[in-house]
Amino acid sequence: MSENIYVIGNWKMNKHLHEVTDFFDQFNISLHDMFASDNSANIEIGVAPAAIHLPQLSDATNFSLVAQNIASEENGAYTGEISASMVAEYSRYVLVGHSERRMFFNESNDILIKKIMLAYKYNLIPIFCFGENLENREKGDYLSIIKQQIEKVIFPVFSSSVFLNQTLIVAYEPVWAIGTGKHASPEQISEVHDYARNLLIDNIGNIKGSVPILYGGSCNSQNAKSILEQKNVNGLLIGGASLDVDHFTKIIQIAHGLS
Ligand code: PEP
């Protein structure tokens, strides 16, 4: 089992600079108070702001920065892209394979493999997202979809021993639960996380440490505890509820209480 509980906020394309500043003025005080009373907690907090705000936050101490994206090419004539090496100057983690990137930017498995390899090259820890859509869920073939998503991206990366010393984090994010207010039930989450855990152990069991498996999809302060209590849930990836500093802090407090 992984030791840390991860609480990662994904802000997507939200917040202007003054809102980012306001958020962190309050957030830093809340985290400082929380950890002043108990700094032994095994909790890793991450925030993924828009890339343009990463430099602004690079002196963060109580939490880590997460990039929402990196380019799949290393450098060169790719107008508008931001490379892994540029992002790595500020960020510790990077999201790879988020369903919005797969859906709206047509990111294929080959692109995701390239991004993970570039992340490792520049010492970023990838958080690889996978999850079925509503149709797969209703048809009942979601586990085979999840298997394909993991085996087509993660297994090729770790098929050689080059990356076995690297850290990998994965996040189960059922597409039907993202931004819908309809989170997966603890039983549904448990089934997929247990399945993913076994798949990873059977196929890349020789990777360094155990792979944290996060859940994402309409997490909030009401459902965080019951989700985090599931055996193979090692943290949360939070969209909407991470935009509000009070709400996000409340979820962190819940995780802190369980860590
Ligand atoms: C996400 O987009 O990663 C996500 C989990 O969003 P939300 O919490 O808003 O469903």
What percent of the chain is modeled with pLDDT above 90?
88
Q: Specify the pLDDT at position 160.
A: 85
Total structural domains within the chain: 1
Structure tokens belonging to residue 141: 């073939």
Ligand 1 atom closest to 183 (CA) = 10
Q: What average pLDDT does the chain have?
A: 95
SS3 of 250, please? helix
Q: How remote is the CA of residue 80 from the centroid of ligand 1, in Å?
A: 25
Ligand 1 atom with the shortest distance to the CA of 100: 2
In a 10 Å sphere around its CB, with 0-12 CB exposed, 13-18 middle and 19+ buried, how is residue 79 labelled? Answer: exposed
Ligand 1 pocket at CB < 6 A: 10, 173, 178-179, 216-219, 237-241
DSSP code, position 90: T
- At 1, is the pLDDT very low, low, confident or very high (cuts 50, 70, 90)? very low
Q: How far is CA 222 from CA 122, 156, 245, in A?
A: 37, 38, 15
- Cite the active site residues: 98, 173
User: Which ligand 1 atom is at minimum distance from the Cα of 129?
Assistant: 3
pLDDT in tens, 113-125: 999 999 999 999 9
Which of the 8 DSSP states describes residue 148? H
- Distance from residue 106's CA to the centre of ligand 1 (Å): 19
Confidence of residue 136 (pLDDT cuts 50, 70, 90): very high
On whether the pTM is more than 0.75, the answer is yes
Residue 9's φ and ψ, nearest 5 degrees, are: -100, 130
| CA distance readout (Å), 49 to 11, 23, 85, 106 | 5, 11, 17, 22
- Rounded to the nearest whole angstrom, what is the distance from the C-alpha of residue 159 to the centroid of ligand 1? 30
Task: Supply the range of the domain harboring residue 117.
Answer: 5-258
What mean pLDDT is predicted for residues 175-198? 96
pLDDT attached to residue 14: 98
What would the pLDDT profile of 3-43 be if each residue is shown by its tens digit? 799 999 999 999 999 999 999 999 999 999 888 777 667 99
Nearest CA to ligand 1 atom 8: 239
pLDDT digits (tens, 9 = 90+) for 81-128: 999 999 999 999 999 999 999 999 999 999 999 999 999 999 999 999
CATH number at 250 reads 3.20.20.70
- Percentage of the chain beyond pLDDT 70 is 98
Answer yes or no: is pLDDT of 157 > 60. Answer: yes
How many A from CA of 217 to the centre of ligand 1?
5
pLDDT of residue 58: 87
Tell whether the model's pLDDT for residue 74 goes beyond 70: yes
